[in-house]
Amino acid sequence: MAPETAPAGDLRFADLTTLRVGGPIRRLVTATTQRELIDAAADAWRGDDWMVVGGGSNLLVGDEGFDGTVIRVATRGIEVLPDAPAGSVRLRVQAGENWDQLVAWTVEHGYSGLESLSGIPGAVGASPVQNIGAYGQELSDVLVAIEFLDEGAREPRRMTADELELGYRTSVLKRGLAGVVVSVEFELHDTAAERAVLGEAIGAPVAYRQLADALDVQLGDRVPMAKVRDAVLALRRSKGMVLDPDDRDSVSAGSFFTNPIVTERVARTLPAEAPKWYLLAEQPDEVTPLASLASQSPLDAFLAHQAALEDAERQAALAPEQPLVKLSAAWLIERSGIRRGFTIAGSRAAISSKHTLALTNRGGASAEEIAQLARFVQQRVQAEFGILLRPEPVLVGLEL
């Protein structure tokens, strides 16, 4: 059966994305089976420009749209694989499955490892692209492999988690490896033995303070998976991060900026109350430590800035393994003077009234208005703290 093809002019990216912005799609092909997906990709690769869309929750496309083929992945299927290690279960999930519906399915079956990732919009195939994570769990904790169709190939190949080079909200897929995710393989904890004794499925140790507080437990405690899912969904709803037609704060791409990763020395230039989390070695963002210079004269600020850079270079040479620190993008945005609900005069894009990390479409916004607001946020944070926030969504036809 051939994949469904929509004629030109029938759809816009505003119809396919959670931000509800984006211009026309010249050709849309919807694939509902793995064979259709492979055939649709092979057809597009004969010379057309192409891109893939799943749930459209992490995508910002320009108002001019896309003059090529858009492959919408709508494949379905959750398969329990044989020969999993004792106490574990392995799943192969088709790329078009709804992510939150998969999480709900695993909680219902007592398979632990995804419950803290409840409520994240989008499709399963998009999850390894940026190594999704929330409330102390990350996809990399449970990802085994993906089936990946390289651009120009006729059949998919298996790529292990190591080959994907997963990092904080990144992977080789996000860094330019061209192709299509066909399916994703997970290894989760099977709570069958615990259910037999306790009568309910107990989740992984709670690893995030806000979630522990919501559950009224200590970090490291284990509680029923269903309670974890309910608490995560409640937290996300309170921030407008669960898709809801009655909540205009949810007309967004979720968190628009990633939390910056900086060296310990740069982190120390921030006020003591700034949230900081020490990490294992990762690639740091580019930063300019200006946080303490705002009250100085331009000349003094420049000289102090140059001295700080020279000192940072000396320290890096002396201590190349300097610890890396994750900062809170939301804290940086708020302390740069941008508040919840902020909007640029005349714009239909706004910061969420519930969470400063979300950029929202308040009704009829253009993609350029979303991008304009994102640039303003970047400029304010960089001017105040010398840290450049990186966008989390994939941008097509737009630059910040």
Catalytic residue at 248? no
Is the distance from CB of 114 to CB of 105 less than 8 angstroms?
Answer: no
215 C-beta neighbours (distance < 10 Å), count: 18
Is the distance from CB of 182 to CB of 190 less than 8 angstroms?
Answer: no
Task: Report the distance separating Cα 218 and Cα 206, nearest Å.
Answer: 8
Read out DSSP for 141-208?
Answer: GTEEEEEEEETT-SS-EEEEHHHHT-BTTB-TTTTT--EEEEEEEEEEEE-HHHHHHHSS-B-SPP--
**Exposure string for 254-282, b = 16+ CB within 10 A, e = fewer:** bbbbbbbbbbebbbebbeeebebeeeeee
Catalytic residue at 380? no
Residue that the structure tokens 């806000």 belong to: 210
Q: Which of 20, 90, 169, 390 is catalytic?
A: 169
Q: Which of 118, 171, 255, 328 is catalytic?
A: 255
Catalytic residue at 163? no
**Cα-based angle 386, 389, 394 (whole degrees, multiple of 5):** 155
Is the distance from CB of 239 to CB of 246 less than 8 angstroms?
Answer: no
By C-alpha distance, which of 22, 21, 125 is closest to 73?
125
**Residues known to be catalytic:** 169, 255, 392
